[in-house]
Amino acid sequence: MKRVIYVILAVLLISGLLKACLRADVVTSTQNENRSETEILYREYPSQKNIYLNGVDYLQSQVQIGKFGGTFVTSTIGEGPKTFNPFNSKDNISSTMSEIMYDGLVATDVNTGETIPKLAKSFTVNDCEYVINLRRGLQWSDGKPITADDVFFTWNDIIFGGYGNTSTRDSVVIDGKLPTVEKIDDYTVKFVTPKPFAPFLRMLSSPIAPKHVFEPAVKRGKAYFDGFLSTNTDPKEFVISGAFKLKEYVPAQRVVFEKNPNYYVINKDNQKLPYLDKLVYLIVGDVNNQVLKFEGGELDEISLQGANVARFKEMEKHSDFSVYNIGPDTGTMYIAMNMNNRKNDDGKYYVDLKKQKWFQDKNFRQAVDYAIDRQNMVFNIANGLAEPLFTPETLNSIFLNKNLKSYEKDINKSRELLKQSGFSWDKSGNLIDKSGNKVEFDLYTNAGNSEREAIGVMVKQDLQDLGMKINFKPVEFNSLVNKLMSTLDWDMVIMGFTGSPLEPNGGKNVWMSDGTLHIFNQRLEKDLNSPRYDFENKLDEMFIKGALAVNFDDRKKYYDEYQAIVYEEKPLIYIYSPIRIVALRNKFKNIYPTTLGGVTHNIEEIYIGEGD
């Protein structure tokens, strides 16, 4: 009865907070008269338009004309980026920093999710052919023209050539073949895929590199390229196409970007944007420091974890910021076990043999899954601002398999599954495998992320209820990435992936058996041809077929199946899907929050208002 009361209270809290968190950029029109009085809607973002002016194909902003000048300060936890090269990035922080500086041919419409032109002025798709018409007159930040040579070089030499992080290349391999790219003229390129390939157009959002800067690095080979545009690079060496260019990097303290005077977005007075002079990321170490810095006025924006939302909503009434509900997070949090059964260069197994047997046992993985109390985590860590998650597709994904049912913690089911695989318990309640080994292993997550650390504490307790001994070890993010991707010396981890609710193929690198983010059975380059588990082969098949299918219903059939395989096999155990809540200073104008874009998707149009 007590649990039922808790659930009712939590539901009421969620309902009230979610409605309260929607801010005052309200749509008011007669067609909304039938809506509930408590339902507040955001304004739709007015998309930018093409305009030809003085020989240049600009994008013209359609929002309010603002004031030039000022600085926007946000933050990132951890120790900062590992690289500023968008083609070398393997972590979200590095990707965020590098992609600020380099635009792609296309982008995603934050209102509709459709693919729209960016560096491209337009594009046409005919079966397997993609013709891209570039904007004329655009310049890199050093004044040199942006042309088809840059596009051809980026895709043919860097991406298809396998330089840096091969995630993009791997995601566009079709039946073992890569697409081709051809320069038609200085402002036209043509891509041809081996077969109709539904995700390809969206993949063209990958950053374009200035050939005159990157080509010398490519010619020096992949080893040199891996260190090119590292965090030690002089900011003066960066040549970019995005709204902001690196100005300063102070390790473990801050990353400072300055406006690109050659950016190709203009306002309705035909003045070049961005409005802001600087964009600053403070490297704050952990979430607690992030909160303190926002409350102290050092930050202009902060993403709130559930535990802080109610307090910030109360503070909002008498403060200079607003709290925005952006909707379900587009990323996922999960638990993974290291199922690797290969040997390193010294002839030793990456994972201890007895642990291999545990982690490779589906009953063991399912037992862990049923032991996890997701509802408890939702209420006590996310403060009710989340929903339990059981699939790799997020709750707002158009490809979500809604036939996969949720369930609550069931310790008895966990025990039964373990018994089926020969596990037992000694007189002290310790879990023992059929060879007499006590079940003990390490659980990792990235230090400084208080939400994941709290999840780790609860997971440890839940698994101790099964008689497992868990050594919980939060470690610095970059060190953890090295364990997961290079040394492979880990047992269990709590981590997260970014994602898209519009295109599952973006997760190909996670689910394809040779993917660079195939975390639960990571293959280094020398291991790519090693044997697969049966379900890995099935996942490979689903992703290949899902990408080749063009009709949405056909694609969804394959992506439903991949989710069902993950749901059954539990290579990754999903935890919950949080609601994204952001606090932002009121002095910033032209704010158009969207589920797909967040709060600052149009950073070049954001300005500091008069009198603030």
Q: Domains in the chain, start-ordered, CATH in brackets?
A: 2-32 (no CATH), 44-278 (3.90.76.10), 332-578 (3.10.105.10)
Distance CA 247, CA 236 (A): 8
How does pLDDT run across 81-104, given as a tens digit for each residue?
999 999 999 888 999 999 899 999
Nearest C-alpha neighbor of 204 from the set 124, 101, 312, 138 = 124
Sequence-ordered strand ranges (E) for 200-253: 244-250
- pLDDT at position 79, please? 83
Taking the C-alpha atoms of 279, 68, 115 and 137 in order, what is their torsion angle to the nearest 10 degrees?
Answer: -110
Assigned token pair, 205: 């959002």
Distance CA 515, CA 526 (A): 13
Distance CA 321, CA 315 (A): 9
> 97, 230 in Cβ contact below 8 A?
no
Distance CA 202, CA 516 (A): 20
Helix, strand, or coil (residue 220): coil
Distance CA 435, CA 440 (A): 14
CA atoms within 13 A on the CB side of 9: 9
Helix, strand, or coil (residue 151): helix
Helix 306-316 vs helix 2-21: crossing angle, to nearest 10:
50
Write the DSSP assignment of 270-323 as a string of letters.
-PBSPS-SEEEEEEEESHHHHHHHHHTTS-SEEEEPHHHHHHHHHHHTTSSEEE
Compute how many other C-beta atoms are within 10 angstroms of the C-beta atom of residue 222.
12
DSSP 8-state symbol, 391: S
Q: Is the dihedral of CA 311, 313, 317, 323 positive or negative?
A: positive
pTM of the model: 0.82
- pLDDT at position 42, please? 60
User: Per-block average pLDDT, block size 10, for the chain (612 residues)?
Assistant: 32 35 30 31 85 97 97 92 93 89 96 95 96 98 98 98 91 90 98 94 96 98 96 96 98 96 98 98 92 97 91 94 91 94 84 93 98 95 92 92 96 98 97 97 93 95 97 92 91 91 89 91 84 94 91 94 98 94 97 93 94 48
The backbone region for 321, taken as left when phi is positive above 0, alpha when psi lies in -120 to 50, beta otherwise, is beta
- pLDDT at position 6, please? 30
Distances (CA, A) of 286 to 191, 238, 539: 43, 29, 36
Sequence-ordered strand ranges (E) for 14-101: 49-53, 56-60, 71-77
> 61, 267 in Cβ contact below 8 A?
yes
Residues whose CB is less than 8 angstroms from the CB of residue 168 and which lie 6 or more positions away in sequence, other chains included? 159, 203, 206
Sequence-ordered strand ranges (E) for 452-502: 469-475, 492-497
Q: What is the CA radius of gyration of the chain?
A: 25
DSSP 8-state symbol, 405: -
DSSP 8-state symbol, 39: -
